[in-house]
Structure 1
Amino acid sequence: MRDFVITADSNCDLLEEYVKEKQIGIIPHYYDLDGVTYGDEVNLTPKEFYDRMRQGKMPTTMASNPAVIRSTFQHYLNQGLDILHISFSSALSGGCSNIVTGATEILEEYPGAKITVFDTLNASLGEGMAVMKAVALKEEGKTMDEAAAWLEEHKMDFCVLFTVDDLGHLHRGGRISKATAIVGSMINIKP
């Protein structure tokens, strides 16, 4: 039985110290703001990011880069490790689909290796909680298949609630219609 590593998308919002301590592989998601691409080596602090949004700047998001997915997976497969990837929701981004495609393609080059992609159907720390549980299961001695099965069985138990301060951001990002943004703002409803 092969040992495995846990990887996740950068949107899992786990503390960098935890990620390093638990040796979690992170695949960055990217965003563009004012013509600059952020998300891997170059990043903004949360304060800088939200200050720019308050100034009317609108980021556009991008799914994971296939070349980065490939190199990340190769790094671990070359060490003889299988991979349990905990993914940002497929309902919110094309990133999960990119991960599945990347895993399928690279496995053709690594007979006997295994990559399991778990779609959290969640975002932010909801994804992060799934990563933390996978780490705990691994530390308990569970196999990758056992950890993935537990996550799948309990997928709907991970819940994160959030709200937005300005419906205009959701409208500009294509998440809600203009009418919904106007009516919601008039009656002060924030999803």
Structure 2
Amino acid sequence: MGTKKQLSAEQSSALLNLLKERFEKNKNRHKDLEWSNVQAKLEANPEKLWSLNEMERTGGEPDVVGYDAKTDEYIFYDCSAESPKERRSICYDQQALDSRKEFKPKDSAMNMAAQMGVEILTEEQYRELQQLGNFDLKSSSWVKTPDAIRKLGGAVYCDRRYDTVFLYHNGAESYYAVRGFRAVLRV
């Protein structure tokens, strides 16, 4: 894809229909919110619609999980059952990618998120997501790593096992076939 971060009218319409269907199918994720208001926000922010399409294209199945009244923004998280397939086998950030001498992964979570115009979930956001369902029962997801940990070469990730959300650590340069990242987008 080129540098133009905007969908065609046809792509926008198809994505809005898909998002509306998911929104209506999963009301438990966004009680008391109306799709018409979400759609109006999306139509007024085509670059955000492009980012949502990137979340969808890479397997994230984005959905509305909240509304921030202070900023008048709807909050979308990746709601796929497992960490998005097209965002796995990646290390944490560019520094980690650069540190690998051989067997480099294709990319990093932080780079991919920036290219998509999204952010990776924080631990707190990840735990909020897990209140809406059971996610990452077989996979895991990098989460935003505190600077103090990252400065020492580490990075953190989460998953759900034994009906509990766990936070773990790894070297930031590590990557696994079942570890990706989940995104958040505010519109």
TM range (shorter): under 0.3
Relative to the length of structure 2, the TM-score reads: 0.25
Considering only CA atoms, is the larger Rg found in Structure 1 or Structure 2? 1
- Structure with the largest fraction of helix: 1
- Structure with the largest fraction of strand: 2
